[in-house]
Amino acid sequence: MKSKKYGSRIKQVATSIIFLTVSLPSFAGEKVTVFAAASLTNALTEVGQKFDQQHHSETVFSFASSSTLARQIAQGAPAQIYLSANQKWMDYLIDNDAVSRDSKVTLLRNSLVLIAPSSAAPANITINKNWDLKKSLTDARLAVGDPDHVPAGRYAKQALSYLNLWQQAEPLLARANSVRGALALVERGEAPLGIVYSTDAQLSKAVTLIDTFPAASHKPIEYPLALVNKQPTEGAKDFYQYLQTQDAKAIFSKYGFKVNQ
């Protein structure tokens, strides 16, 4: 009787193991590598954690300036998904056959804002063509992502040029290697003003949002998504699809991004 009892338990355990194996997705445990713009760090990390909990997968992120990541991908870096902070660097990868043109989707939108340290926020600044930028900076620097490389910096240059302020601003820039670098300069009080995305300003208690740049002053701030142009794994394809679900969009919205329906 005892051997039959143990045999029955072994059979039950074996059946459970088979059921568990069948129930898990085929990519369970697979590592998916995502290259994404620095401004997405907090939101995308949370999206990845939720996805991994649901799918028993491992999503790994590399966050930096979109330009830096695009160049790395073009040179063969082992990314599977790319999420940029502007269309320019996605188009660069499409032109270089580094990402799948057919998989390109514009996922999110953002806005551009002026910030100051919360401990010393200046009063009465309105962003328009009459703004005396040099006076507002009081012999200090304006923190921005480097306009030569960083999407947030490019948008800042476009906005300041539209307002006829670029010539005044250019020699006064503190150029950071990412939008988060510009945010950090203002958080630490090393720059009295900075230009970042509204989502960055929303995240930090150490800065105050002073004003928003007119939408017409710069190109639309869009975040295109694409699969890197090699045979995508099942895990990469599934996370790519998950980024477009209502669950993921709810997280992006929580962090202040505007989601495309």
Average pLDDT, consecutive stretches of 10 residues, N- to C-terminus, the chain (261 residues): 47 41 52 96 97 93 96 95 96 96 97 95 87 92 96 97 97 96 97 97 95 96 94 92 97 95 69
For 43, other C-beta atoms within 10 Å of its C-beta total: 21
Give the integer Cα–Cα distance in Å for 84 and 79.
Answer: 13
Look up the CATH superfamily of 112-212.
Periplasmic binding protein-like II (3.40.190.10)
CA distances from 87 to 37, 104, 106, 117, 226 (A): 12, 10, 9, 30, 11
Q: What is residue 228's DSSP assignment?
A: B
pLDDT, residue 29, reads: 64
What confidence score (pLDDT) does residue 230 get?
Answer: 75
Identity of residue 199: T
Q: What is the pLDDT of residue 25?
A: 52
Superfamily of domain 7-108+223-259: Periplasmic binding protein-like II (3.40.190.10)
End-to-end, the C-alpha distance of the chain in Å comes to 63
Q: What is the pLDDT of residue 30?
A: 79
Rounded to whole angstroms, the Cα distance separating 230 from 128 reads 46
Residues of the chain with CATH 3.40.190.10: 7-108+223-259, 112-212
pTM of the predicted structure, to 2 decimals: 0.84
Which amino acid would we find at residue 70?
A
Do residues 228 and 81 lie in contact, with contact meaning Cβ atoms separated by under 8 Å? yes
Q: Where are the beta strands (DSSP E) in the chain?
A: 31-37, 58-64, 81-83, 105-110, 112-117, 142-145, 173-176, 193-197, 207-212, 221-227, 258-259
Query: What would you report as the CA-atom Rg of the chain, rounded to the nearest whole angstrom?
Result: 23
pLDDT at 242: 98
How far is the C-alpha of 196 from the C-alpha of 208, rounded, in Å? 11
How much is the pLDDT for 3?
47
pLDDT of residue 186: 97
Q: In angstroms, rounded to a whole number, what is the distance separating the alpha carbons of residues 105 and 141?
A: 36
Which residues, at least 6 apart from 77, have a Cβ–Cβ distance to it below 8 Å?
A: 35, 69
The whole-angstrom separation of Cα 70 and Cα 186 is: 27
At 146 the pLDDT is 97
